[in-house]
């Protein structure tokens, strides 16, 4: 089972098991990760699951598609960065085991 490492603003790390095919957001919500809300339930419409993908994994995760890009641009409460993604749009697969993501200051 692949793992996701969530790093909070204060540096606290939380490692979560993610089921293959599950979104990073769903794994976070299921595991009670603070700072990942997922208000829209993973429908790419609220930006309350905004994360920053660690540089080490950016090439494997890829960039946002057009709809996700729009939601990040208009709805993200925290600073938008090149590594910004909506965690509901990242599907966990075995090759992403150990994925590191940083949680923004606010959602």
Task: Please tell me the distance from the alpha carbon of residue 6 to that of residue 13, in angstroms, as a whole number.
Answer: 6
Q: What are the residue boundaries of the structural domains of the chain, listed by start?
A: 1-100
pLDDT number for residue 103: 98
Residue 14, beta-bridge partner list: 6
By CB atoms closer than 10 A (0-12, 13-18, 19+), residue 79 is exposed
pLDDT number for residue 18: 98
Give the model confidence (pLDDT) of 17-48 as tens digits.
999 999 999 999 999 999 999 999 999 999 99
pTM here is 0.96
Domain 1-100 sits in CATH at 3.10.20.30
Give the model confidence (pLDDT) of 45-84 as tens digits.
999 999 999 999 999 999 999 999 999 999 999 999 999 9
């Amino acid at each position: 089972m692949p793992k996701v490492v969530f790093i909070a603003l204060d540096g606290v790390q939380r490692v979560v098991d993610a089921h293959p095919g599950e979104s990073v957001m769903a794994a976070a919500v299921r595991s009670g990760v603070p700072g990942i809300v997922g208000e829209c339930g993973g429908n790419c419409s609220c930006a309350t699951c905004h994360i920053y993908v660690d540089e080490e994994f950016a090439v494997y995760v890829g960039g946002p598609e057009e709809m996700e890009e729009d939601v990040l641009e208009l709805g993200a409460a925290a600073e938008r960065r090149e590594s910004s993604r909506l965690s509901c749009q990242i599907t966990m697969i075995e090759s992403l085991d150990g994925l590191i993501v940083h949680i923004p200051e606010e959602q």
